[in-house]
Chain A
Amino acid sequence: MGIGLKQFAPGHRTCAGCGSAIVFRHVLEALGDDVIICQATGCMEVTTTPYPETSFKVPWIHVVFENAASVASGVKRSLKAQGNNHTRVVAMGGDGGMIDIGFGAVSGALERGEDIIIMVYDTEAYSNTGLQRSGGTPFGASTTTSPAGKKIPGKQEWKKNIAMIAVMHGAKYVATANPAFWADLQAKIKKAYKLEGGPRLIHIYSPCPVGWHVEPSKTIKVAKLAVETGLWMLYEVEEGKLKINYKPKEFKPVEDYFKLQGRFKHLLGRKDIMEKIESHVREWWETMEKVEKEGINLLKMI
């Protein structure tokens, strides 16, 4: 049987080349059978459960958009009250559901130290409703509500960093992942599964070919370039200690990443903006590498 199929059936209505579908297969396989999934409204909810069908073969619940982490908190406490301490409970949602509208619920669950796994699959926009800008949308990206216009070249704010926000809540384990690095992704999910007694948050890059105007076949290519340009850093923070899992020998030019994607098309040839982004990335890496090298315990900052 193929990867993840024991937990997640085919026949779902995700678009051809969907990055989130790849993410889900790996996540669900790594989680195994003894889990309950609490999912936020979004692409991976509507495409997978068109009544009376479902792709899921593990217990799964969806309520509304912004409460996955709260539903998961209730499910976990319920199991605990019933003496079940083995089943893992996962709150899953996209950047809209977890970084924006459901952020309060995520923050609350992190603050309470809920014994759950919070998984954010980040398509960097509201993919389900036609690619509107979200807190996860990167600087410069053109979306339907931050379009590249004659005056304003796409989104003018930096991406909200949900992973470091989780660290600052004192989360037990925080990691970033990317489907192009599937073994790393699975390992992180398994680690989150194993670590008990507090919240674990995994922030996963999830390419959306239709929304990003990327060839469906290039989903993984784009995902890989996100890492190789330094725009998406693979790291984990366990008990406050940062570890960068992959360091490209040399960053590829951001332009290589942008030219595959319609959402960045307007930035090609805009040296000023490209340099602004590249220097932002460089400074971010320098800071993170310094934190890693000096062994700074990030939990001591709070």
Chain B
Amino acid sequence: MPREVMEGSQAVARVVASCDVKVIAAYPITPQTHIVQELAKMHADGVIDCEYINVEAEFSAISAILGATAAGARSFTATCSQGLALMHEVVFASAGMRIPLVMVIANRALSAPINIWNDHQDSMAERDSGWIQLYCENVQEVVDSVVQAYKIAEHKDVLLPVMVGMDGFYLTHVYEPVEIPPKEKVVKFLGKFNYPYRLDPKKPVTMGPLGFPADYARLRKQLAEAVWNSKKVVRKVHDDYAKRFGRSYGDGLLEVYGDGGKAIVAMGSMCGTIKHMIDKDELEDVSLIRVRTFRPFPKDEIKDVLRDKDTVIVMEKNISLGNAGAVYLEVRDALYDEKRKPKIVNFIVGLGGVDVNRPTVKYVVEKAEKVKSGYVEIVDGNEISASY
């Protein structure tokens, strides 16, 4: 199939059209805006046959696609940062209600100070919501992940919402050659949207009732188990997609790159830089473990790939304020029961769009040598210019 050079946001819009989405809700926010603008244009030109709702706030964007999906139509919206934070209440409710939504998050920093550039603090703040979270390295992966997201979300054993993370600007505004899987093929892969309990006057149901303590706890347990169990579906859908479309991303949960004894654990577009440095032998004895699926967290899988490493360096674009990076905390937790524990350190990088470039990676790897296990550092960028 042909590859075309296009902007990341345009690629998302094109693949959404391939997924036969029937309802789109749109609200602008940088750097997500190009996605819904592109969809608006396709809608206006009659390229996609769907309902396009220009809502008055992100809160209504997610509410509208929740309603649309509950009534039986595949839906889409995209957001980021403050928009996602505004959606927060419905992010939790939609998972609790088991509505299979799909949202693209153009990852961006949260206020304050207000900042429009990339990091992962927005979606990481939603990590406890029950949404499945995929973080992508490049535009092609975003395209493929959107298709997979619908397949995963709508799977009868899953019925959970999925967010696909793409780094704001780095991926939303970059021009890359990408292949957009054609609609016929995608529709065949996804099958007809068939939400089993939809709002239908012919078969009335009540959705979103009041749960007293015992019922609430049991239904939350049901939700927790659904999120844990979704891991095998995430993997299977990834594998099936790879067979049909010829592209894969590790095992769908993790991607292991190189076999150096010092493992960098990272997510998103900065993994491209790290891979490049490994390829060019710029880093000695370094491997990369890219976390693609952060929720459900691939705890066993990460333990398997990290247990024999000497050093684990978690580089991430978020911080759980008052402690350390969220990915670091979970990786550390995964290794707790191992007899032989590698040294593990945490570097918070790229906050608010600070460039995670080759000097940054070099700085992190070298610094990791010098510090003790448990070391946490926020790299604000000034260290780099001073030492490199």
Residues of A at the B interface (CB closer than 8 Å) are 33-36, 38, 45-46, 49-52, 54, 56-64, 66-67, 69-75, 77-82, 87, 104-105, 107-108, 111-112
Contact = CB atoms under 8 A, between A and B. Distances in A.
Contacts of B60: 67, 69-70, 73, 104-105, 108
B222 to A, nearest CB: 12
Interface stretch (B200-208, B322-330, B365-373): B200-208
B56 A105 contact: yes
Contacts of A46: 210
B25 interface: yes
B65 interface: yes
A66 B87 CA distance: 11
Contacts of A62: 207-209
A104 B57 contact: yes
Contact of B50 (A61, A63, A81, A111): A81
Given A49-B210, A70-B55, A82 B72 contact: yes
B200 A59 contact: yes
Contact of A51 (B70, B93, B97, B212): B212
A161 B105 CA distance: 38
A52 B25 CA distance: 32
B210 A73 contact: no
A83 B56 CA distance: 25
Contacts of A111: 56
B67 A70 contact: yes
Given A56-B206, A59-B206, A67-B63, 11 more contacts: A51-B210, A54-B209, A60-B204, A63-B67, A63-B97, A72-B67, A74-B69, A81-B51, A105-B59, A108-B57, A112-B55
Nearest to A13: B210
Secondary structure dominating the interface of B: mixed
Contacts of A57: 204
B383 interface: no
B71 interface: yes
B59 A78 contact: no
B73 A78 contact: yes
A42 B90 CA distance: 16
Interface of B: 22-23, 25, 50-51, 53-57, 59-60, 63-73, 75, 89-90, 93-94, 97, 199-201, 204-212, 215, 219
B153 to A, nearest CB: 16
Nearest to B218: A51
A66 B59 contact: yes
Contacts of A61: 67, 70, 199, 206-208
B206 A49 contact: yes
Contact of B199 (A69, A75, A105): A75
A70 B59 contact: yes
A112 B53 contact: yes
Nearest to A80: B51
B56 A74 contact: no
A112 B54 CA distance: 8
Contact of B207 (A34, A52, A60, A74): A60
Contacts of B67: 38, 61, 63, 70-75, 78
B53 A73 contact: yes
Contacts of A69: 60
B300 to A, nearest CB: 34
B71 to A, nearest CB: 4
B90 A74 contact: no
Given A54-B209, A59-B205, A60-B204, A70 B64 contact: yes
Given A36-B71, A57-B204, A59-B199, A50 B22 contact: no
Contacts of B208: 49, 61-63
B93 A63 contact: yes
Nearest to B56: A108
A107 B56 CA distance: 8
B75 A74 contact: yes
Which of A34, A50, A61, A105 has the most B CB atoms < 10 Å from its CB?
A: A61
B68 A77 contact: yes
Contacts of A112: 53-55
Nearest to A53: B209
Contacts of B73: 77-78, 81-82
Contact of B64 (A50, A66, A74, A87): A74
A74 B210 contact: no
Contact of A77 (B53, B201, B205, B211): B53
A67 B59 contact: yes
